[in-house]
Amino acid sequence: MSIDSDALIDWYGETARDLPWRRPEVTAWQILMSEIMLQQTPVVRVEPVWREWVARWPVPSAMAAASQGEVLRAWGKLGYPRRALRLHECARVLATEHGDVVPDDVDVLLGLPGIGAYTARAVACFAYGQRVPVVDTNVRRVVARAVHGRAEAGNPATRDLADTEALLPARVDRAARFSAALMELGATVCTARNPDCSRCPLPTCAWVTAGRPASDIVRRTQKYDGTDRQARGRLLDVLRAAPGPVERVALDLAWTRDPGQRARALDSLLLDGLIEQTRDGLFALAGEGGAS
């Protein structure tokens, strides 16, 4: 089964959310920033930070001139802060090696720090209107249901790209719009837990036709409370809020429930390059400890 691209694109034209990074005046660099932020963080939390970043760092060289610590502070509570450091590194490479412009070629994009298969194609498609398959979790889910009749997509596979590319309309401008629409459908209607099929623009869907067979995938509930990730977040909060390096005791007080876990979190932050230690044993955000 295929996907009715006309129906999907029409629906997108009528119902797409008015997200700021979709406006025509937005540059490829600003789209790249949004894509990095949106990978693991919901739209509602990304939007205010993205607006701030666009105003503060409108071009890659502006971000490249900032310190790692500034970027980590500005990242705030978006989570998975290694993304911020990678984007900072990417900005530096764009400023020094690409004339302060985000390339439009997927292979060149893939060579940039922190840019993976999804982001490279998302930029090529959404910023430059190219006909390339853009495959994220939402797209994989819609394709699994509408085309293959499965309740869920299962693990990512190399065939996902070819699978999605086969669905793209031949016309380049239609293909880019189709990709955006497919993602939108997965994000707003064909959601993981409660697909709202009554609002779906697709006239046929293999999963519905098959009688909505149940998923054979066992879901793992991701808890956050008490995890190493939460401990890392608390330690980073202390450093973000401090005007300069802090003593170890300030970090100890930020996570008192498990000293072993706290030590693990601290080690991993150091290892990831998100924080550093000063010569006199204090702790600081990356680039703010005077170690380099």
**Residues assigned a catalytic role:** 35
Identify the bridge partners of residue 283 per DSSP, sorted by sequence position: 246, 277
Identify the bridge partners of residue 285 per DSSP, sorted by sequence position: 275
Task: Out of 197, 263, 270, 282, name the contact with ligand SF4 by CB under 6 A.
Answer: 197
- Residue located via tokens 């719009």: 177
Does 181 sit near ligand SF4 (CB under 6 A)? Answer: no
Find the binding residues for ligand SF4 in span 97-156 (CB under 6 A). 142, 145-146
Give residues with Cβ within 8 angstroms of 66, minimum separation 6: 57, 88
Q: In Å, what is the CA distance from 87 to each residue of 19, 67, 81, 111, 200?
A: 21, 12, 10, 13, 35
Grouping H, G, I as helix, E, B as strand and the rest as coil, residue 275 is: strand
User: Interacting stretch for ligand SF4, rule CB under 6 A, among 22-30, 70-78, 122-130, 201-209?
Assistant: 201-209
The 8-class DSSP code of residue 220 comes to P
User: Interacting stretch for ligand SF4, rule CB under 6 A, among 129-137, 200-208, 240-248, 282-290?
Assistant: 200-208
Does 205 sit near ligand SF4 (CB under 6 A)? Answer: yes
Does 11 sit near ligand SF4 (CB under 6 A)? Answer: no
Task: Out of 114, 195, 287, 289, name the contact with ligand SF4 by CB under 6 A.
Answer: 195
- Comparing CB distances to ligand SF4, the nearer of 190 and 231 is 190
Report the nearest approach of ligand SF4 to the CB of residue 132 (Å). 22
Does 207 sit near ligand SF4 (CB under 6 A)? Answer: yes
With contact defined as beta carbons under 8 Å apart, do 206 and 161 qualify? no
Contacts for 116-125: CB closer than 8 Å, 24+ residues apart: 117/161, 118/35, 118/39, 119/32, 119/35, 119/36, 119/39, 122/31, 122/35, 123/28, 123/31, 123/32, 123/35, 125/175, 125/176, 125/179, 125/180
- Comparing CB distances to ligand SF4, the nearer of 109 and 189 is 189
User: Interacting stretch for ligand SF4, rule CB under 6 A, among 34-42, 161-169, 204-212, 270-278?
Assistant: 204-212
Task: Out of 84, 190, 239, 246, name the contact with ligand SF4 by CB under 6 A.
Answer: 190
Task: Out of 147, 167, 168, 189, name the contact with ligand SF4 by CB under 6 A.
Answer: 189
| φ, ψ dihedrals at 277, nearest 5° | -105, 140
Site size with ligand SF4, rule: CB under 6 A = 12
Does 94 sit near ligand SF4 (CB under 6 A)? Answer: no
Q: Which of 103, 73, 189, 174 is nearest to 138 (CA)?
A: 189
Task: Out of 33, 49, 175, 200, name the contact with ligand SF4 by CB under 6 A.
Answer: 200
- Residue located via tokens 């498609």: 125
Residues at the site binding ligand SF4, with contacts judged by CB under 6 A: 142, 145-146, 189-190, 195, 197, 200, 202, 205, 207-208
